[in-house]
Amino acid sequence: MALFLDSRVLDQTREGSTRERKGIHNPNSSSLSPLMAPNKLNSSGNTSTSMSCSQAENGFVNSFSLFPEKAVHELLESPVQGSDDHLIEFSEALRTVAKALRQVAEGKASAQAEAAEWKRKYELERERNNLHFEHTEKSCLEHQADLEDVRTNNSTKQSILCNDANGQSERCCSRNGICSHEVLRDGTPDSDSKSKMVRKASFKLSWCCKGERSDQYKHDIVSFERGNITTAERSSKQISLKWESCPQTVLILTKPNSVSVQILCAEMIRWLKQQKKLHIYVEPRVRVELLTESSYFNFVETWNDNKEILMLHTKVDLVITLGGDGTVLWAASMFKGPVPPIVPFSLGSLGFMTPFYSEHYKECLESILKGPISITLRHRLLCHVIRDAAKNEYETEEQMLVLNEVTIDRGISSFLTNLECYCDNSFVTCVQGDGLILSTTSGSTAYSLAAGGSMVHPQVPGILFTPICPHSLSFRPLIFPEHVTLRVQVPFNSRSPAWASFDGKDRKPLAPGDALVCSMAPWPVPTACLVDSTNDFLRSIHEGLHWNLRKTQSFDGPRET
């Protein structure tokens, strides 16, 4: 350390040097240099006190050896003798220097103690991190073994161990999300050290739900591979159905009031019973018609009440419809839960969902019963009405399942409808016009198309939001993702009530304060494809709607030069 002297001592030293150069002699001053003057003040007469400096370990001079502690203490305690002003001022300066040195010594000792404490904490933290790393590595190896067991056994209920921030393990169920473990680590070995590896941050993907009584159904549409998040691309993949056992029971639904359909139904039932040995269910009306024709059809089964209809999906392996799209809608409405595969034969006018031709029903059914078959999963909407008098959101009326669309219109009223629309509790818009259509992608070629909506591939999971004659030029249709919940409410200041219809039937009034809630149903309608879902969809819009059909431009017109 550098020895800092009082400014007054430096001034006096300069003054003394000036006097010596000028030849001025002070009789009271000593012939010794000012720095040696304190030795005269030693009461014991020890004027040979050493002032040598010792070298510290770092190569700097140790400041504390310039003045021995005992000499400094006696200097501070003993009174100053004599009346020399320079000696008195010099003694005061030395006291100031000694006080400063004492404070520096105390600060150095405190700093050394603090540094030792930090070094001890650092060693403990490094040891703790090493132990935590070894524990995490061991746990990750165990998780890798668990994941391999899951892939081998195809278990969907396997629980995976996860490590929390404190190093403790907790269990998370794979059905509630996706946990990242060993797949997050880079398994490429290092050429220099096997213990060195690149690690990625661990995370978990979970599906947000409102609770057990949620009106939303969550689909697992995210795959997880080595820490990368990718979608499952459900809409772009063709779905195939392969029978693990031969179908045993068939349900046949027909279009009413059609003689040609009755004749085809009787012929098909004979062939299925005699050639395929199948159990056959029909509607009560159809069974009466068959028995009126011949008593041969006594083997045909039917149901007696709605309770038996609810259990049809547990008995029926395959559904055959003879009619148009309306017959397919009727077949879907009979099943309030899971729906068996439907084979729709075209005996109607348009036939967007009926790709099979009745003239070749034997070949078609032979191929379908043998399998595998391509199917289209047609999504349905789950709708329910919440009245203004309801105490909570779960106090609703009977749920309705629709395959095409739910329509909210003004009915016979001459006033515009006034509807407040929300998406997952976020305000969307206020509809003022003739009404609103909430459609599935299968229903995009029905009422929604006529109201200006887009045509959408039936396997695209989404909900179409199409206004009916809106009183605004900027009101364009929307397409929402499948996981949202839409709520349409009639405000209290509405001039008239609205009316809701579900697939064109079951109309219900919506008074001011009432709300209609729609979300994607968990049970789609699987319909068999003639070729595949895309080919059938394009064929239906080309043949049924004559989509983009025009006369081809001739080659003998004007040419560019």
- Interval 489-515: pLDDT, tens: 999 999 999 999 999 988 999 999 999
For residues 510 and 228, what is the distance between their CA atoms, to the nearest angstrom? 47
Q: Say if residue 558's pLDDT is above 60.
A: yes
Q: Is the pLDDT of residue 30 over 50?
A: no
Determine if the peptide bond prior to 284 is cis (ω within 30°): no
pLDDT of residue 438: 97
Q: Which residues are part of the catalytic machinery?
A: 325
| Chain segment 197-252, per-residue pLDDT in tens | 555 565 555 555 555 544 444 444 455 455 555 554 554 567 888 888 889 999 99
Q: What is the pLDDT of residue 5?
A: 40
**Distance (Å) of CA 211 to CA 177, 207, 252, 488:** 15, 11, 39, 22
Count of CA atoms in the C-beta half-sphere (13 A) of 162: 19
With 90 as the cut, is the pLDDT of residue 343 above it?
A: yes
pLDDT at 392: 78
pLDDT tens-place string over residues 521-538: 989 999 999 999 999 999
State residue 191's pLDDT score: 46
Q: What is the mean pLDDT of residues 74-80?
A: 55
3-state DSSP helix/strand/coil % of the chain, to nearest 5: 35, 25, 40
* Joined tokens for residue 520: 């994607």
Evaluate if residue 466 carries a pLDDT over 80. Answer: yes
What residue type is 522 in one-letter code? Answer: P
Whether 184 shows a pLDDT value over 50: the answer reads: no
Tell me the longest C-alpha to C-alpha distance in the chain. Answer: 155
Cα gap 486→488, rounded to integer Å:
7
pLDDT at position 161 is 39
Q: Quick one: average pLDDT of 142-146?
A: 59
For residue 36, name the pLDDT band (cuts at 50, 70, 90).
very low
Average pLDDT over residues 476-495: 94
